Structure 1
């Protein structure tokens, strides 16, 4: 009888252990999503880095330094934090020991902060280039860009170091990753103040800079579009013999020009908010224990934050004409080299197939 009870208890514990490690459908979907984000982020950021190294014109430009810093942060985040989040999601346990998790959490805090500030620096660069085009080269030089990047690194390093030294970095089950976490109740008030302060001076500050600079850029762009539209309409009025189809194409081009600037600004600000806002809001709501948070939502918000590393190469680099042309040149050069190698091998085979006396 006792053996039967012991066997039953053993089977129950074993079934509960298997149930605790069994992944449901939502977790499987989230795991696949993390894998897709890792692949896209890795390939796209490597492509941006290749374009930067291949094209000397991109390296000479000041925005190239900001793009390089952003690409560096995204690549390091992709290879260091995202795979460990995937491991934590699948195994439902902390990947590695506490010391290892603190190092990974330090990197996550540093890289995410640095990437946000890099986007703010890019918006400031665009604002100076559009609003002060004649003084851009005197206002934004390479040493000025290096000073801005120095601030982003110092800002990111200070918050990451403080969190690590106070043991506020560790494995967080809600996000299945090593990130900001405070398991001790004794320092809860200090952790709440730090978290609010940290997100105010990273996410909120970057968002305000993005809105202010890009809205000014949009205002200037619309002003220039209006001037061009007036000149175009005056020209169309003078050209009375112009064909109606040509007139219609000119009007459509005016409309596309107005929409293009709005679409670009909306993409810059919209992707920033869509990717980072859910995660930051969740971290703030988490500070109130009375508010329950769905564990699946925690992973979703983390995936959205990670997806910014996959979006940035397209938003800031790969969709621009200069990067498109560089990618085309690289592909054409590779294809030309492979075709030359193939023709060389064919000629060698033909020479070898000639009979000799």
Structure 2
């Protein structure tokens, strides 16, 4: 009886209840629903691509012994990071994008935003580490194994996750990213928003550490790799004389590959971090709604492109992918490693004859004494 008397007044006494807005939302729901279905389908498809692509990368390296190298360890680290992003962050991001409400409370909201920042930062820094690895492989091919060691790769991965934690969980849960001392998303309990607050210091520091500085380093390393590839192509062309086609084809492939890798990174993340820095400088409330959603999901799309760019552009990865797909189609048990790329040469005179007929590997030294080979053009990123 008491509850019945209070019920008619409960709508007007509830500070979180807005009768006018509820009527408007009911009126527009029929118009928005088809758009929500289309957006939901696109987001679901993107999440599936991210999950499947990065799972295949991890399986390929795990099951194929030829892919177990230090370079591919970094690629697996990138795949695991993107996989965690697709599992722990993107389903909640898609739900929030479709409903425009966060139903899980402020604590889970801050954990969700912290995971989002941490995993996106780790993904970008893994891309930076891959570019440095390829840079040393091309500029110091004879000392590569002494420069890039397992211990240094482990230290690099530890640095990546340390920096990622320092720009995500630490500032968000201590309130360093807000204008004041309060922690973000800890306002009234009726608030259904879950956003990442950005002040001037956090916007500049996070933008520089996690995007602009890595972007500058990647531009320098890939430019140096491309420059060395062109120099080697010119030297090989000069040595081969009338046979300029093979090295020029390899140079073209190196140019296209590096342009695609760097271009995809810039297209996906530059709009988001430009808007992110703008929010820190000019205020959080200036950028919201659809523009922010577009640049955010464009950055997420980079996690779907990474398995393609750093997997299928590598010849050994392509072979491993094809073998995995064949095994899944035929449902046959898979061997622990793939068959070798080239058949072993038979012993005896016949094998010697074939060995003698094998083309020699061209080796040239530049003015600095660095060994330049025709095969070095292939190492312009472990992508060719």
TM-score computed with the length of structure 2 as normaliser: 0.72
1:84 and 2:84 aligned: no
Deviation at 1:12, TM superposition (A): 5.6
Residue of 51, 54, 58 corresponding to 1:45: 54
Partner of 2:340: none
Partner of 1:328: 322
Deviation at 1:127, TM superposition (A): 0.3
8 Å Cα contact 2:89/2:116 also seen in 1: yes
1:306 and 2:315 aligned: no
Partner of 1:348: none
8 Å Cα contact 1:33/1:303 also seen in 2: no
Q: How does 1:253-292 map to 2 (within 5 A)?
A: 253-287=246-280, 288-289=282-283, 292=286
User: d(CA) in 2 for partners of 1:211 and 1:177?
Assistant: 37
User: d(CA) in 2 for partners of 1:322 and 1:68?
Assistant: 14
8 Å Cα contact 2:265/2:302 also seen in 1: yes
User: d(CA) in 2 for partners of 1:218 and 1:272?
Assistant: 17
TM-score computed with the length of structure 1 as normaliser: 0.77
User: d(CA) in 2 for partners of 1:13 and 1:124?
Assistant: 53
Deviation at 1:318, TM superposition (A): 2.8
Relative to total residues, which structure has the larger helix share, 1 or 2?
Answer: 1
Deviation at 1:327, TM superposition (A): 1.9
Deviation at 1:180, TM superposition (A): 2.5
- Quick check: 283-292 or 192-201, which moved more? 283-292
Partner of 1:350: none
Residue of 32, 38, 42 corresponding to 2:41: 32
Q: Could you report, residue by residue, the CA deviation over 1:14-73 in whole angstroms, capped at 9, with x for unpaired residues?
A: 4313246563766554433322210111110111011011012222x1112211111111
Alignment CA distance shift 1:73-1:170 (3 Å): farther
8 Å Cα contact 1:81/1:108 also seen in 2: yes
1:141 and 2:142 aligned: no
Deviation at 1:336, TM superposition (A): 5.3
> Which runs of 5 or more structure 2 residues have no equivalent in the other structure?
1-17, 178-182, 186-191, 334-384
Alignment CA distance shift 1:13-1:44 (3 Å): closer
- Quick check: 291-300 or 133-142, which moved more? 291-300
Aligned-pair Cα RMSD in Å? 2.8
Structure 1 runs of 4+ off > 6 angstroms? none
Q: Could you report, residue by residue, the CA deviation over 1:204-250 in whole angstroms, capped at 9, with x for unpaired residues?
A: 11101111111111111111111222233x245xxxxxxxxxxxxx6
Residue of 151, 165, 180 corresponding to 2:196: 180
Q: How does 1:1-357 map to 2 (within 5 A)?
A: 14-19=22-27, 23=32, 28-59=37-68, 61-167=69-175, 168=177, 178=194, 180-181=196-197, 191-232=199-240, 234-236=241-243, 251=245, 253-287=246-280, 288-289=282-283, 292-293=286-287, 295-335=289-329, 338=332
Aligned residues: 304
User: d(CA) in 2 for partners of 1:177 and 1:44?
Assistant: 31
Alignment CA distance shift 1:13-1:64 (3 Å): closer
Secondary structure in 1 matching 2:142: helix
Secondary structure in 1 matching 2:143: helix
